[in-house]
Structure 1
């Protein structure tokens, strides 16, 4: 039984409308895809950029600091460090009276100086000593030293040589019990020999400007007299941790001995 004419016409009209809507949607989707395809950016080939520089650092032959010469900040930093390494470390204008001068000296050059013992209860004095020791380690290309003295004077002491309110020399020590003889020329240790020692010279240094004035020996004499209360050490109760070229010559003149083989020996110990 066929549908009435009116109902057939309505169904036909609905069918045409549905087709137009679907066609319109398909067309819209197609246009959107086309637009998206045209506007979508193609991925670029990414390349990693490498920066090559020709920056070369200069190493100062005197203070051993490395810096970039054409950078103003580096130059200024080096100049400040260099002055301290060559001329000494300022004690500070308001702290000169707090330092405990244990000896007064007049050098052959006519300069007056004094030896002070760093007071471990003074953070300022410890700070100055540590700053100078950091410079010493830099100049000597040495590892960080033992600073047990900063917490307990029974573990060691620090003596400074002061000229015009500047620490121009330093000697830091530590308490030890034994060491060995070392052949000065070769650096070889004498086997099967233990040497009884009491004090070890951890670091000793004199600023370049004040060398060859006898300051190093004066610091060593102070170590002999002031390391242990009421006891003056002999030279052969004192050993050296790692003498540099300057320290080696000083050690040789201070407590070097001549072996029967003709070789010169100096007492050394292993720093803790």
Structure 2
């Protein structure tokens, strides 16, 4: 007799791998999302601001920019700070001395690296205020070969050809920086440049009446002048000239100009007729008219 099979219930669900004797872990609470805080508002406008006094552009909401602007503003208004030791060292390059202890020092290609670096630091302030292009150090402290006799041109003479029919060549520094130092600050600067030719400024009222001369619209930062079409020999160019805000109207700029023309060429003073300004600003044009003593007839050059 065969034994009848005993029916066994089938499992309705798979067995769990978790033991019933182990207490289940509590469910972790969901992490809270970190709240983002907007640190700067974007109002779809210009975030940069330009100081009307020193001319520097900066972002008022940026603390580093604010510190840089404060430092630059102080240099522009009161002058560039020099240490007492540096003032004593650069005094050996003195080309003019004032009664109040102030003096003008000339810095050229052959001077020490410390002198040239300090002159470049001052020129950064000058370039920013005048919105002028920065001159690389390679060009700033380079030499220039000229085919015009420096001695002849300095005294207003026409260049004379040599026996072979060529003008004598000369070599000179391309630039020289003149720093006006008062106390332990540089409160004025003039960058002089060796040039070959310049154009005479013509009075706008009768510029069209001059034969061979036409009014030239000047892109001179708002200074409207007319210049002659024919170039004249020149030797000294005033590339940059600057005085700190607190020291203007004291004759510093004119003193710098006189020092540049008396020192630029060794042993001789360059006639004013051989001096030219580089694309003067409105205030630069006023300075030129005051220094030359006439409204027109002075020169500008294209750099």
- Higher mean alpha-carbon deviation, 131-140 vs 215-224, is at 131-140
Match of 2:134 among 140, 144, 147: 144
1:66 aligns with 2:104: no
Question: Where does the alignment leave 5 or more consecutive residues of structure 1 unmatched?
Answer: 1-50, 259-263
Contact 2:142 2:175 in 1 (8 A): no
In the alignment, the residues of structure 2 paired with residue 242 and residue 161 of structure 1 have an alpha-carbon distance, to the nearest angstrom, of 22
Runs ≥4 residues deviating over 4 A: none
Partner in structure 1 of residue 98 of structure 2? 105
In the alignment, the residues of structure 1 paired with residue 278 and residue 124 of structure 2 have an alpha-carbon distance, to the nearest angstrom, of 16
In the alignment, the residues of structure 2 paired with residue 145 and residue 188 of structure 1 have an alpha-carbon distance, to the nearest angstrom, of 27
State the shift of 1:52 in Å. 7.7
Match of 1:157 among 161, 166, 176: 176
Count residues with an aligned counterpart: 211
**Distance change >3 Å, CA 188–CA 146, structure 1 → 2:** farther
In the alignment, the residues of structure 1 paired with residue 293 and residue 298 of structure 2 have an alpha-carbon distance, to the nearest angstrom, of 5
> What RMSD, in angstroms, separates the aligned Cα atoms of the two structures?
2.2
**Distance change >3 Å, CA 254–CA 82, structure 1 → 2:** same
In the alignment, the residues of structure 2 paired with residue 156 and residue 70 of structure 1 have an alpha-carbon distance, to the nearest angstrom, of 39
Partner in structure 1 of residue 83 of structure 2? 92
Match of 2:285 among 248, 251, 256: 248
Q: What does the per-residue CA deviation read over 1:163-218, in whole Å, with 9 as the maximum and x for residues that have no partner?
A: 01211111111111111013476322222x22211110110111111100000000
Question: Where does the alignment leave 5 or more consecutive residues of structure 2 unmatched?
Answer: 1-39, 144-171, 205-223
State the shift of 1:230 in Å. 1.4
**Distance change >3 Å, CA 69–CA 145, structure 1 → 2:** same
State the shift of 1:257 in Å. 4.0
SS of residue in 2 equivalent to 1:131: helix
| Structure that is richer in helix per residue | 1
Calculate the TM-score normalised by the size of structure 1. Answer: 0.71
**Relative contact order, higher structure (CA 8 A, sep 6+):** 2
Q: What does the per-residue CA deviation read over 1:93-114, in whole Å, with 9 as the maximum and x for residues that have no partner?
A: 32222212221113xxxx4310
Contact 1:256 1:265 in 2 (8 A): no
Question: Counterparts of 1:1-272 in structure 2 under 5 Å?
Answer: 53-54=42-43, 56-99=47-90, 100-106=93-99, 111-120=100-109, 121-145=111-135, 148-152=139-143, 154-183=173-202, 186-191=224-229, 193-255=230-292, 257=294, 264-271=296-303
In the alignment, the residues of structure 1 paired with residue 242 and residue 118 of structure 2 have an alpha-carbon distance, to the nearest angstrom, of 14
In the alignment, the residues of structure 2 paired with residue 184 and residue 137 of structure 1 have an alpha-carbon distance, to the nearest angstrom, of 29
Which protein shows a greater Rg?
1
SS of residue in 1 equivalent to 2:84: coil
**Distance change >3 Å, CA 196–CA 88, structure 1 → 2:** same
In the alignment, the residues of structure 1 paired with residue 272 and residue 189 of structure 2 have an alpha-carbon distance, to the nearest angstrom, of 18
- Higher mean alpha-carbon deviation, 126-135 vs 201-210, is at 126-135
